[in-house]
Amino acid sequence: MEYIITTKHLTKKYKSFVAVNNVSLNIRKGSVYGFLGPNGAGKSTTMKMLLGLTAPTKGSFTIHGKQFPNDRLSILKEVGSFIESPSFYANLTGRENLDVIRRILGLSKNSVADALELVGLSEFGERLAKKYSLGMKQRLGLAGALLGRPPILILDEPTNGLDPSGIHEIRNLIKSLPALYDCTVIISSHMLSEIELMADDIGILNHGRLLFEGSLDELRQNALQSGYAADNLEDMFLSMVDKDNLIRKQRAKL
């Protein structure tokens, strides 16, 4: 099995607070990897470490055969990202906004048209960004991540704030990407029903620790063996997190 991203004992501390605690991930090439956890679990911090936006306190990671920090710049060229709500120049068109990113990345001019086509915005490329709907802005953010067709995409809450129709559009787009151009997608979301429809593999964090990593089928087997409900991802996720929180409380009392 080929892994495109591996982390070993990845840890991030802020003074006495441990945001990410000895996390070792193995993300399969060509998969959609659902990265889950309650607020404050360490998902965004882990993603920012993979993007080189914050340095690990301890541990290491490899992306597409390149090791951080020695190959930091090479890694950044291989990863497209969508972290939180993207911001744009309101008085530039969608195409012009993407062209700003393209020039920073040193990509070819045709990469803008390619990215707009991938997200279904080709006919709206000349519209000012301030006139885009929220769903169109999210798609423009994805187009920015897709510029140059990077082999890895890291998407943090890409459906945040969208209506059901917009969520459906983005979900179908993300689900199609690995087959469309052989990329790997890491996606975090609080909408577990959406992750269940998209993801091949799941990683669950709680209080900075990795509770589970594996396929959805393996997660169901794990839930059944532990006596949890295994009808849907939300039930399995909540059962696992609740059990971990209970163990933490019991340890704190000792």
AA identity, residue 119? V
Find the distance separating the first CA and the last CA of the chain, reported in whole Å. Answer: 42
* Cβ-contact 150, 174 below 8 angstroms: no
Helix (H) / strand (E) element for 101: namely: helix 94-105
Q: Say what angle helices 110-118 and 94-105 make with each other, to 10 degrees.
A: 120
User: Does residue 86 register a pLDDT over 80?
Assistant: no
Q: What is the pLDDT of residues 117-144, one digit of tens each?
A: 988 899 999 999 999 988 888 889 999 9
How many helices (H) does the chain have, and how many strands (E)?
A: 9, 11
Q: Which amino acid is at 200?
A: D
- Degrees, nearest 5: CA angle 122-180-147: 50
Q: What is the DSSP letter of 128?
A: B
CA pair distance 126, 91, nearest whole angstrom: 11
pTM for the whole thing?
A: 0.91
- pLDDT (tens digit per residue) in 172-188: 889 999 998 889 999 99
